[in-house]
Amino acid sequence: MAQTTPNHKLTVSGWAAHDNSGLITPYTFKRRVNGPDDVSIKILYCGICHTDIHHVKDDWGITRYPVVPGHEITGLITEIGSNVEGFKIGDRVGVGCLAASCLDCEFCNDSMENYCDKIQLTYNGIFWDGSITYGGYSEMLVFDHRYVVHIPESLPMDATAPLLCAGITVYSPMIDSKLHESTGKRIGIMGLGGLGHVAIKFGKAFGHHVTVISTSPSKEKEAKEGLGADDFIISTDPKQMMSKRRTLDFILDTVAAPHSLGPTLELLKVNGTLALLGAPDKPLELPAFPMIFGKRTVKGSMTGGMKETQEMLNFCGKHNITCDIEMVTSDKINEALERLANNDVKYRFVIDIAGKN
């Protein structure tokens, strides 16, 4: 049993890694009883995010073991606290990366809780009561309702789960660059994985011309025919890169491996924006000339606020956007993590937590 605070009286079954071998095994732990601001959620599905791998293996040196990963969660409300409005028992809901924020700073007051300096994450965080947060690789969750969103009726619970991290992570910088306000822009999606594949769907739904930029020529057919991309550039082919100079208004870079931003920046038109989402463990090479000569901007983005997450799900409901998933049972989590580390998944693993499939 984990070290817990006095009101952590609920015994919950889940799956955890106990050391940096990253091996996931069944784990029984305690959660807090449902408080006035909380809802309890029976978890149905949980997506497997790249961040989960970094945490179970302690790649960033910040893991508090045992770690129960998972921040792409869908499930059903089973209990609501006395202060909770807008949710009822049986509601289909989702939980992403955020578990708590200060609710008082300029970012919290502006629906950008994701940039609150006191942000607490869904797993491996320290909640206000001093307990370590445990994520969605578990049968149930007690969660502050302010960080819970509704899943539109038209969306399936399994293929929607990864939208709670992968979806909002790509949606937020696209909104930030106002890609929802006009159509016909030329946008680039660099890297065709969990993030990239859903970014293509958003780009097309917003009405833009979408180019996939990838190191793998083998992905061209799938990108165009399977996901609806309009164009494909092989980033390791200098000729192709040169012929597409100054053609794109916006690029979303989802690549987590170290790479130079110079060649990518050259693809942008003057005044174009490169939004970084991948988090390589070493600094990226950022040459000044392509920025200066093209008046280009490089910016980052980290998930999204709660209001924006709900708007993203509503948009997905309207445009029928979900993730392409491979379902795994809970006894196959280790296998899935290993395959994900090798980018061997199309395009997101989802754990069938409740054993419905």
Joined tokens for residue 20: 């940096």
By rule CB under 5 A, what count of residues binds Zn ion?
Answer: 8
DSSP class of residue 164 equals: G
Query: Closest CB to Zn ion among 116 and 199?
Result: 116
What's the one-letter identity of residue 277?
A: L
49 scored as a contact of Zn ion (CB under 5 A)? yes
Residues 6+ apart with CB under 8 A from 288: none
Minimum Å gap between C-beta 105 and Zn ion is: 3
* 46, 108, 192, 248: which one binds Zn ion (CB under 5 A): 108
254 binding Zn ion? (CB under 5 A)? no
Q: Tell the smallest beta-carbon distance from residue 350 to Zn ion (Å).
A: 13
Nearer to Zn ion, 44 or 267 (CB): 44
CB under 8 Å to 275, separation ≥6 — which residues? 173, 176, 177, 250, 251, 252, 253, 299, 300, 301
Does 101 bind Zn ion (CB under 5 A)? Our answer is: yes
Residue number with CB closer to Zn ion (80 or 95) = 95
Q: Amino acid letter at 73?
A: I
Q: In this complex, which beta carbon is closest to Zn ion, that of residue 17 or of residue 248?
A: 17
- Least gap, CB of 116 to Zn ion (angstroms): 3
- Of 16, 116, 179, 192, which one interacts with Zn ion (CB under 5 A)? 116
206 phi/psi in degrees, rounded to 5: -75, -15
Stretch that binds Zn ion, among 14-22, 42-50, 125-133, 134-142 (CB under 5 A): 42-50
Residue type, 50: H
Q: Is 201 exposed, middle or buried (0-12, 13-18, 19+ CB in 10 A)?
A: buried
Minimal distance, residue 194 CB to Zn ion, in Å:
8
> Please, are residues 140 and 42 in contact by the beta-carbon 8 Å criterion?
yes
| Dist. CA 216–CA 119, nearest whole Å | 37
Q: Which of 2, 10, 33, 102 binds Zn ion (CB under 5 A)?
A: 102
Q: Which of 56, 157, 165, 350 binds Zn ion (CB under 5 A)?
A: 165
> Where does this chain touch Zn ion (CB under 5 A) — which range of 35-43, 73-81, 85-93, 97-105?
97-105
What's the CA gap between 220 and 23, in Å, rounded? 34
Q: Which stretch binds Zn ion (CB under 5 A): 12-20, 112-120, 136-144, 247-255?
A: 112-120
Residue 312 CB, shortest distance to Zn ion, in Å, is 14
Site for Zn ion in 65-94 (CB under 5 A): none
Residue closer to Zn ion, measured from CB, 211 or 254: 254
Q: Shortest approach of Zn ion to residue 50 CB, angstroms? A: 7
**Which region, judged by CB under 5 A, interacts with Zn ion, from 12-20, 164-172, 245-253, 338-346?**
164-172
**64 closest CA partner among 148, 168, 157, 134:** 134
87: which residues sit within 8 A by CB, 6+ positions away?
Answer: 39, 77, 80, 93, 145, 148, 150
List Cα–Cα distances, 128 to 66, 140, 226, in angstroms.
19, 20, 44
Q: How far is the CB of 102 from Zn ion (least distance, A)?
A: 3
Q: What is the CA radius of gyration of the chain?
A: 20
Residue placing its CB nearer to Zn ion in the complex, 165 or 265: 165
* Residue 172 is a binding residue for Zn ion (CB under 5 A): no
51 forms part of the interface with Zn ion (CB under 5 A): yes
Least Cβ distance, residue 114 to Zn ion (angstroms): 10
Is 231 in contact with 209 (CB distance < 8 Å)? yes
Stretch that binds Zn ion, among 45-53, 178-186, 262-270, 314-322 (CB under 5 A): 45-53
Cis peptide, bond prior to residue 123, ω within 30 of zero? no
Point out which residues bind Zn ion (CB under 5 A). 49, 51, 101-102, 105, 108, 116, 165
